[in-house]
Amino acid sequence: MYAADGVLAVHTEYGTSIVPANRVAWTPAGFTHHHRAHGDTDMRIAFLPPSLARLLPEHPVVFLASGLAREVLLALTGPRNDDAAGPGYSRSARLRLLRVLVDELREADEQPLHLPEPKDDRLRAIARMLSEDPADNATLAELGKAVGAGTRTLSRLFRGELGMTFYEWRTQLRIHHALVLLADGHDTGRTAYACGWSNPSSFIAAFTDIIGTTPGRYRNGLRTTARASRPRAVVRPSG
């Protein structure tokens, strides 16, 4: 899935990936998933044949789309493939374009936009509470009292099960919520406070560290990568 514009949330049993504009979410075969669009979203979907799919990771991941990958995805999902009366790509041409796309994704860095889904009941309870109120600044000890677990136990579970500290996980959760709010048109200050930061400057620093640009620049650029004149479409495997 490619977000040419807007923000996508892709949910699997592996966790949730937030896909801002100009990112590609890869979901391998066998992963039951569903997605939700936030804001005015232009979503493009490309399916890979098994011979190419095996070259990508065996788990869901988000990639930053290179300029070439973006153009390939737009070409594969543009009106040339959706208009029965027009000259569409041949089967061999589509396969060549898909090979280029896979080559580009294999060279791309994985984006830190995946929030793993906890399995432990205590972690799941914490995740539910903070997802409902990302501005909640309760400490891990305070949350532990609510779920019946000590700080050491929860810290060990976060590292062992999710591969990150509680602070890292909560920051990632808040960034996910921030991307959705920005896509819905909220400004930087309102988004910062709604997601639990005490001031906009600390939010800007955290957002820039993960997303690679400031919230303001990201919000202003949400629509710049869209090709509004091209209808959304789906491209099927070529073989």
Q: Within a 10 A sphere around the Cβ of 137, how many other Cβ atoms?
A: 12
Q: Within a 10 A sphere around the Cβ of 146, how many other Cβ atoms?
A: 12
Residues 37-77 pLDDT 10s:
877 778 888 999 999 999 999 988 899 889 999 999 999 88
Q: Which residue has the higher pLDDT, 230 or 116?
A: 116
Residues 23-35 pLDDT 10s:
899 999 888 888 8
Short-list 39, 10, 40, CA closest to 23: 10
Query: Which residues are CB-contacts of 151 (< 8 A; sequence separation ≥ 6)?
Result: 140, 141, 144
Predicted pLDDT of residue 227: 42
Short-list 71, 57, 74, 76, CA closest to 17: 57
Q: Which of 8-22, 55-69, 83-97, 177-191 has the lowest mean pLDDT?
A: 83-97
Q: Which CATH superfamily is domain 118-220 in?
A: Homeodomain-like (1.10.10.60)
Predicted pLDDT of residue 68: 95
Portion of the chain with pLDDT greater than 90, in percent: 55
Helix/strand/coil (H/E/C) assignment for every residue in 222-237: CCCCCCCCCCCCEECC
Predicted pLDDT of residue 80: 56
Residue 18: beta bridge partners? Answer: 9
**b/e burial code for range 194-206 (CB count within 10 A of at least 16 → b):** bbbbeebeebbeb
Written as six digits, the tokens of 48 are 């890979």
Predicted pLDDT of residue 129: 95
Q: What share of the chain is helix, strand, coil (3-state, %, to 5)?
A: 45, 20, 35
Predicted pLDDT of residue 156: 96
Output DSSP code: residue 110.
B
Can you tell me the mean pLDDT for 164-175?
A: 94
Can you tell me the mean pLDDT for 225-237?
A: 41
Residues 195-218 pLDDT 10s:
999 999 999 999 999 888 899 888
Residue 42: beta bridge partners? Answer: 5
The yes-or-no verdict on residue 86 having pLDDT over 80 is: no
The yes-or-no verdict on residue 166 having pLDDT over 60 is: yes
Predicted pLDDT of residue 87: 53
Domain boundary assignment for the chain: 2-113, 118-220
* Angle, vertex CA 113, rays to CA 213 and CA 224, nearest 5: 45
Using alpha carbons, list the distances in angstroms from residue 62 to 8, 21, 96, 203: 11, 11, 22, 22
